[in-house]
Structure 1
């Protein structure tokens, strides 16, 4: 395990039990983010870095009973919290690093990733791994329930030009990792970058 993986596990592991209580009003934002991803009934979708699984109910609603929903996270305590919240009923939970997913190439229709980009140790390689498991024409949503400025204010910091989520950084990062950005929104109430894996 890398130093970054250990730090991520320690950070989220210590906060997992109270994570949902800290952000109780995010459900509608997650549902809107999933709706924008455009998955259909019967699709197979991954929630990459799923945490406590807050996107899983909306993903299940989108793909229906015939679809496949997988939530993957590196932190056991977050997956435990997802189970306690009953979200394991919405899809299969995997203890897995998104840098090395135990999934077949081109086996998914879409990936939803909430708050993930900032925690990737090797963003281009890690986003390439997400592209690997998605079929040509498949989609990626990089989401956060609040925008970059609101998140920075919450964390007591300033936005900087080197923020990976800034459009001028994210677009070439996605282009270099097997994706093509199709839309970008960075508003107080949400961050949502949508990309397609070219066919």
Structure 2
């Protein structure tokens, strides 16, 4: 597992410095997705695999000053870039693996995860770990600022139904990990899955 994590860290560490400048127009898409998570003032929310923490300002605005915002990422360079961008003021940044979070069970109201699922070493284990730290009835948003087809085209490959994020594959994966799929959107300009913690 360490080798898999090293691969993820290697991929993101060399991209951290210019990550935000590569995708300068994603802010409104992040804010819109956060808006659909149903957060309330005072909630506790985690941005899992937060990268440069682009979602943290919107998450902070949603939960207010009385809420708690956490951002966790495996790559120190991404967290450094988040701090340089001033996003550490919106929440607490943690160097942590989304598959082994340093949080007590059932302590979160929601998890926001942008692009995370494609980078989980063990997707079922990762989604189960996110379920572990969320209270029953809490919510999960799996987000990407462009849809599956647009992302595949960006990477020069064809869209495949074997893609982990296709609805037929993702729905049972979520169910097995303790989530109920509530909404599935895959459009050119957005991928957003909303799920509710069962139990």
TM over 0.5: yes
Secondary structure, in 3 states, of the residue corresponding to 1:146? coil
Instruction: List alignment gaps of at least 5 residues for structure 2.
Output: none
Q: Secondary structure at the match of 1:183?
A: strand
The total of aligned residue pairs comes to: 199
Give 1:94 deviation, angstroms.
Answer: 0.1
Q: Deviations over 1:145-185 (max 9, x none)?
A: 00000111111111112101000000000000000000000
Q: For 1:172 and 1:3, how far apart are their aligned partners in 2? A: 27
Query: What residue in structure 2 maps to residue 47 of structure 1?
Result: 47
Report the 3-state secondary structure (helix = DSSP H, G, I; strand = E; otherwise coil) of the residue aligned with 1:157: coil
Give the equivalent residue in structure 2 for 1:157. 157
Partner of 2:7: 7
Aligned to 2:174, what secondary structure does the other structure show?
A: helix
Which residue number corresponds to residue 144 of structure 1? 144
Q: Distance in 1 between matches of 2:162 and 2:94?
A: 32
Runs ≥4 in structure 1, deviation > 2 angstroms? none
Correspondence for 1:68: 68
Which residue of structure 1 lines up, in the alignment, with residue 101 of structure 2?
Answer: 101
Q: How far apart are 1:45 and its partner, in Å?
A: 0.1
Q: Tell whether 2:122 aligns with 1:129.
A: no
Deviation at 1:198, TM superposition (A): 1.5
TM-score of the two chains, using structure 2 as the length reference: 0.99
- Secondary structure, aligned partner of 2:138: strand
Tell me, in whole angstroms, the C-alpha distance in 2 between the residues paired with 1:23 and 1:89.
Answer: 21
Q: Which residue is 2:57 aligned to?
A: 57
The answer to whether residue 80 in structure 2 is matched with residue 80 in structure 1 is: yes
d(CA) in 2 for partners of 1:82, 1:195 = 27
What SS class does the counterpart of residue 175 from structure 1 fall into? helix
Query: 1:111 aligns to what SS in structure 2?
Result: strand
Partner of 1:186: 186
Aligned residue for 2:15, secondary structure, equals helix
TM-score (norm 1): 0.99
What displacement does 1:2 show?
1.5
Structure 1, unmatched stretches of 5+, are none
